Amino acid sequence: MADLRDLYQEVILEHSRAPRNYREVKSADRKAEGYNPLCGDRFIVYLEMEGDLIRDIAFQGSGCAISKASASMMTQSLKGKTRSEAEKLFERFHEVVTGRARANGDPVELGKLAVFSGVSEFPTRVKCAILAWHTLQAALEGTQESVSTEG
């Protein structure tokens, strides 16, 4: 039996209660919406790019603890990173939350994001953990319509 504490780690609960970078970026040059209608999770991710560099990243919206904490911690880890660094981190994050790789012993450093490795024990919650990341990807790619990780 999976332990609830593996999923609801203190760091995750803390970020869901007090999300970081929870604001609109007025100077954003890219933004995208992520929406999981079945859950009711909906986020907007704002990006301000300087060439390939993520100068500012923030988000707004509502959702479950996992999706909100994931969005919050994503913005923390990506500020000042390049687009390709962000994409690599997403790939790595995705592998870890889907249980295809373990959080430790890998060249790409997940850092604090490793707390989401418990999600892999809860397959129905993977879509929550990756919603903000898919939204980020949509913003980077300039996708107009809202993205979803359901279905």
Footprint of other proteins on this chain (CB under 8 A)?
1-2, 4-5, 7-8, 13, 17, 37-42, 62-66, 68, 122, 124-125, 128
Rounded to the nearest whole angstrom, what is the least distance from the CB of residue 90 to other proteins in the complex?
22
Q: Which residue lies nearer to other proteins by CB, 54 or 130?
A: 130
Length of the chain: 151
CB of 17 to other proteins, least distance (A): 7
* Min dist. Cβ of residue 9 to other proteins (A): 11
Q: Which helix (H) or strand (E) holds 89?
A: helix 83-97
**Closer residue to other proteins in complex, CB, 30/68:** 68
CA distance 3 to 5: 5
Rounded Cα gap, residues 116 and 132, in angstroms: 13
Q: Phi-psi category of 35—alpha, beta or left, where left has phi over 0 and alpha has psi -120 to 50?
A: beta
Q: Which residue's CB is nearer to other proteins, number 82 or number 122?
A: 122
Which residue's structure tokens are 């889907």?
98
